[in-house]
Amino acid sequence: MRLKMLAQKVKGFDCFFYLLVCVFFFICLAAGSPYFFNQQNILSLQASIAPYTMLAAGMMLLIIMGMFDLSVGSVMGFSGIFCAYLLTGKLPVMAAVLLALAAGAAIGALNGILVAYAGISPLIATIGTQFIFRGFCELIMTSELAVSLTGFPAGFLKFGNMRFLGLYPMTWIMLLAVVIFQIILMKTWPGRWFYYIGGNKISASTMGFPVKGMTFLAFTVSGFMSALGGVMSVARSQAASRYLGNGIQVDILIACVVGGGSLLGGKGDAAGALTGTIFLILLDNAFNLFGINSLFKGVVIGGILMLVVTVDGIVAMRRMKALGKI
């Protein structure tokens, strides 16, 4: 019962608060720039929000469990480039996409094995796979003697550029994925296990919760979602760049924290991943629309991260004091 109340509290307060922040930011941009509602700008926002949210949703599972995955950018890049490589090799679209998604899930599973069963720190394990698969990205592109891969089948390009009710297919997939994740986290016992394990891993293990199995599952899902984001990006841009996903892991981590996730674990949800991603994309869009030097973006985002983490730490300390744990 306490676990259910915790999940409902996270859902009811954090998501609503960050949604209001995004709405406020949206209104400010709309009022401050005549180009915000330009069709090209709206389509550009969709093209960024959808794949980033896929990565953030997968990362949020790990955040809830008190962990993180710094390889998501490399998994996104490798899977997207791998998919493009298969497509340029005349493999059927569905086969190429499925193999790319399977590759991402396999990398995530590797992270899960290293962390859950080999006892390696998530920081060390995912930094290792980050460099390994970024290296594979470079190897594939070097073998093709190209900065980017292009020339994909019409069916694949149609998936990235057609629209239904004004939205790209990837946007509809993103919304469906967020709804499914939210239902699983809030309405199912396995979903609540993520919160319980993140809240107190030792206690969860003592009570018989499958801590190692859930850790393995969370990393595998993170890899799959990163791969899906990579495939989406390639389909929309009609090219696979060697720099796809490079350095994006920090932005995804920040999106999760800004969206209500706690690095201490036990807090966060899929809706928060979406709102955190929207906030970061709108912030980046604001810099572009108002012609602000992009060098300031890192300063602003870093300041936001420090503020959110500090507040989260203070709140956590107060909760622990109230419970008599410190």
Domain ranges of the chain: 2-322
| pLDDT, tens digit, 9 for 90 and up, residues 145-185 | 566 677 788 888 887 777 778 788 888 999 999 999 999 99
Give the pLDDT band of residue 302 (cuts 50, 70, 90): confident
Give the C-alpha separation, 202 to 319, whole Å: 18
- How far apart are the C-alpha atoms of 58 and 54, rounded to whole Å? 6
Model confidence over 279-288: pLDDT tens digits? Answer: 888 888 777 7
Note the pLDDT tens digit of each residue in 98-125: 999 999 999 999 999 999 999 999 999 9
d(C-alpha 309, C-alpha 322), whole Å: 20
pLDDT in tens, 23-76: 665 666 555 666 666 767 777 788 889 999 999 999 999 999 999 999 999 999
Span 193-215, pLDDT tens digits: 899 888 888 888 888 888 999 99
Q: What is the CATH number of domain 2-322?
A: 1.10.3470
Residues above pLDDT 70, as percent of the chain: 83
In this model, does residue 8 exceed pLDDT 60?
Answer: no
From CA 39, how far away is CA 36, in angstroms rounded?
8
Q: What is the pLDDT of residue 117?
A: 95
- Residue among 116, 118, 79 at smallest CA distance from 101: 79
Q: 0.75 cut: is pTM over it?
A: yes
